[in-house]
């Protein structure tokens, strides 16, 4: 975590930056003495304050439990940063319901996390990957499905109903289906659903998104003076003068991500903090990220490798009111039997969440087909 131009480790055994033990909290240089005392006050504050709240922002929740300094140096860079969003707008209930439940059930969030309660620690840490990249997931799915049940590279251009639904594909052919699972971005779902239910399409299309870019840079390891222990860092919004909102030491985070003697780093730009980031050229983005990393990690050379990956409007924002939006979507879907709507724009942006929703939708569609069979 960056503070006053220097990187500081998070308190040991913290969960999403929230300390679970007082000794590491007391030793951290990430917070001032007053900030540490205010965080520790969570242990004494009455619980259940969120029980009567319909929804609140991440900033509101953290300020109530831990104080404003924790909002600036924990909640904003970590919890809102995960989603490239605005800490004052993102919904606590939609994104971190386990922390809300921790307050309700234990009174103190710190006490709940220390006890391994909702949102508690996992022994293996939070990060997962695959040796060949996340493309292994889709490759494995394609290999497991029978060839006759799979059609790749065939974008759906139109969805018509009522059931059985007709899907017009990019090549001009059509497919008829009694059950349709839309595992697509919210904007794409809106376009496909408009002929079936304009109001539902409007609700889906209203899910806000931010844009971001990742800049991957490779350096000789001996050009970097920093020890690169850990996995990376985040930059609080209140820290000025940097273009990156976070950085990852990819070759430290996972094995075999860079050749021997090389280091692979990645910087994240854009999001709610810098909406104009994607207006810059690749060369400008590479220069700004290299400049930031060189300053923070004491890098003495230009990168030997540089790649820019742009993600326009692909970071869905679960802002306050998102749960009400989902309830309205479900009410409209009740009028469209056979349509299942999943994807990162609705109920969980992470891969595990999307897999869970996909399995549930697939099982529901399978049950519906079997029950309708003669």
Q: Is the dihedral of CA 346, 348, 351, 357 positive or negative?
A: negative
Shared domain check, 303 and 323: no
> CA 302 to CA 304: how far, in whole Å?
6
Q: Which residues, other chains included, contact 103 with Cβ-Cβ below 8 Å and sequence gap of 6+?
A: 47, 48, 49, 50, 65, 109, 112
Shared domain check, 324 and 199: yes
> CA 108 to CA 94: how far, in whole Å?
20
pLDDT at res. 50: 56
Q: In the chain, what is the greatest distance between 2 CA atoms, to the nearest angstrom?
A: 72
pLDDT surpassing 90 at residue 159: yes
For 355-368, the pLDDT digits (tens) are 999 999 999 999 99
Residue that finishes a domain, picked among 59, 82, 114: 114
Task: Determine the average pLDDT of the residues in 34-58.
Answer: 85
Q: What is the pTM of this model?
A: 0.91
Shared domain check, 220 and 277: yes
pLDDT surpassing 90 at residue 297: yes
Shared domain check, 356 and 324: yes
- If one counts the domains in the chain, the total is 3
Give the other-Cβ count within 10 Å of 319's Cβ: 20
> CA 213 to CA 309: how far, in whole Å?
6
Planar angle of CA 182, 185, 188, nearest 5 degrees: 75
Shared domain check, 19 and 101: yes
What is the CATH number for 181? 3.50.50.60
> CA 301 to CA 265: how far, in whole Å?
14
Q: Is residue 129 part of a domain?
A: no
Shared domain check, 53 and 32: yes
Shared domain check, 294 and 262: yes
Asked whether 36 and 25 are in contact (CB, 8 A), the reply is yes
Asked whether 269 and 243 are in contact (CB, 8 A), the reply is yes
Range of the domain at 364: 135-207+318-372
Q: Is residue 123 part of a domain?
A: no
Q: Which residues, other chains included, contact 45 with Cβ-Cβ below 8 Å and sequence gap of 6+?
A: 64, 65, 107, 108
Residue that finishes a domain, picked among 273, 291, 313: 313
For 167-208, the pLDDT digits (tens) are 999 988 999 999 999 999 999 999 999 999 999 999 999 999
Q: How far is CA 335 from CA 166, 206, 329, 338, 358, in A?
A: 17, 20, 10, 9, 21
pLDDT surpassing 50 at residue 10: yes
What's the distance, CA 300 to chain centroid?
32
Asked whether 198 and 357 are in contact (CB, 8 A), the reply is no
Planar angle of CA 355, 357, 359, nearest 5 degrees: 70
Q: Which residues, other chains included, contact 232 with Cβ-Cβ below 8 Å and sequence gap of 6+?
A: 246, 247, 248, 249, 253, 266
Q: Is residue 267 part of a domain?
A: yes
Q: How far is CA 59 from CA 11, 118, 136, 349, in A?
A: 20, 20, 37, 20
Enclosing H/E stretch for 342:
strand 339-342
Shared domain check, 87 and 6: yes
Would you place residue 254 in the very low, low, confident or very high pLDDT band (cuts 50, 70, 90)?
confident
What is the CATH number for 97? 1.10.3110.10
Question: Which is nearest to 372 in space by CA: 338, 326, 336?
Answer: 338
For 215-246, the pLDDT digits (tens) are 999 999 999 999 999 899 999 999 999 999 99
Q: Is residue 238 part of a domain?
A: yes
pLDDT at res. 46: 85
pLDDT over 90 percentage in the chain: 84
Residue that finishes a domain, picked among 289, 313, 337: 313
Asked whether 22 and 60 are in contact (CB, 8 A), the reply is no
Question: Which is nearest to 352 in space by CA: 132, 179, 129, 145?
Answer: 129
> CA 151 to CA 185: how far, in whole Å?
19
β-sheet with 305-316: strand ranges across? 232-234, 246-249, 262-270, 209-220, 305-316
Q: Is residue 159 part of a domain?
A: yes
Planar angle of CA 233, 57, 74, nearest 5 degrees: 25
Would you place residue 129 in the very low, low, confident or very high pLDDT band (cuts 50, 70, 90)?
confident
**Structure tokens belonging to residue 122:** 């996992």
DSSP for 123-164, please give it. Answer: TT-S----TT-THHHHHHHHHHS-GGG---S--EEEEE-SSS
Give the other-Cβ count within 10 Å of 304's Cβ: 12
Task: Determine the average pLDDT of the residues in 125-139.
Answer: 81
> CA 106 to CA 241: how far, in whole Å?
40
Q: Is residue 121 part of a domain?
A: no
Asked whether 319 and 90 are in contact (CB, 8 A), the reply is yes
């Amino acid at each position: 975590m960056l503070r006053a131009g220097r990187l500081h480790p998070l308190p040991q055994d913290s969960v999403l930056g929230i300390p679970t033990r007082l000794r590491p909290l007391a030793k951290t240089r990430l917070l001032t003495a007053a900030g540490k005392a205010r965080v520790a006050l969570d242990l004494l504050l009455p619980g259940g304050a969120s029980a009567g709240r319909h929804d609140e922002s991440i900033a509101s929740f953290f300020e109530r439990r831990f104080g404003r300094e924790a909002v600036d140096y924990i909640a904003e860079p970590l919890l809102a940063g995960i989603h490239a969003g605005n800490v004052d707008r993102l919904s606590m209930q939609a994104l971190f319901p386990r922390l809300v439940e921790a307050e309700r059930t234990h009174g103190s969030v710190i006490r709940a996390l220390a006890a391994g309660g909702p949102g508690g620690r996992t022994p293996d840490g939070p990060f997962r990957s695959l040796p060949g990249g996340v493309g292994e997931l889709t490759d494995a799915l394609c290999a497991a499905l029978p060839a006759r049940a799979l059609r790749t590279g065939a974008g759906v251009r139109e969805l018509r109903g009522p059931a059985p639904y007709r899907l017009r594909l990019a090549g001009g052919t059509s497919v008829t289906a009694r059950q349709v699972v839309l595992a697509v971005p919210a904007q794409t779902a809106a376009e496909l659903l408009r002929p079936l239910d304009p109001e539902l399409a409007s609700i889906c299309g209203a899910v806000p998104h931010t844009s971001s870019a990742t800049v991957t840079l490779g350096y000789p390891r001996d050009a970097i003076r920093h020890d690169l222990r850990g996995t990376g860092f985040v930059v609080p919004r209140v820290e000025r003068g940097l273009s990156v909102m976070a950085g990852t030491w990819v070759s430290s985070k996972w094995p075999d991500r860079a050749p021997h003697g090389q280091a692979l780093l990645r910087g994240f730009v854009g999001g709610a903090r810098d909406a104009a980031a994607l207006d810059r050229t690749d060369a400008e983005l590479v220069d700004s990220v290299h400049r930031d990393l060189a300053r923070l990690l004491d890098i003495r050379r230009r990168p030997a490798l540089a790649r820019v990956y742009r993600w326009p409007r692909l970071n869905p924002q679960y802002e306050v009111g998102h749960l009400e939006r989902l309830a309205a979507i479900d009410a409209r879907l009740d009028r469209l039997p056979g349509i299942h709507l999943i994807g990162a724009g609705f109920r969980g942006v992470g891969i595990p969440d999307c897999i869970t929703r996909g399995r549930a939708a697939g099982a529901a569609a399978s049950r519906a087909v079997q029950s309708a069979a003669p």
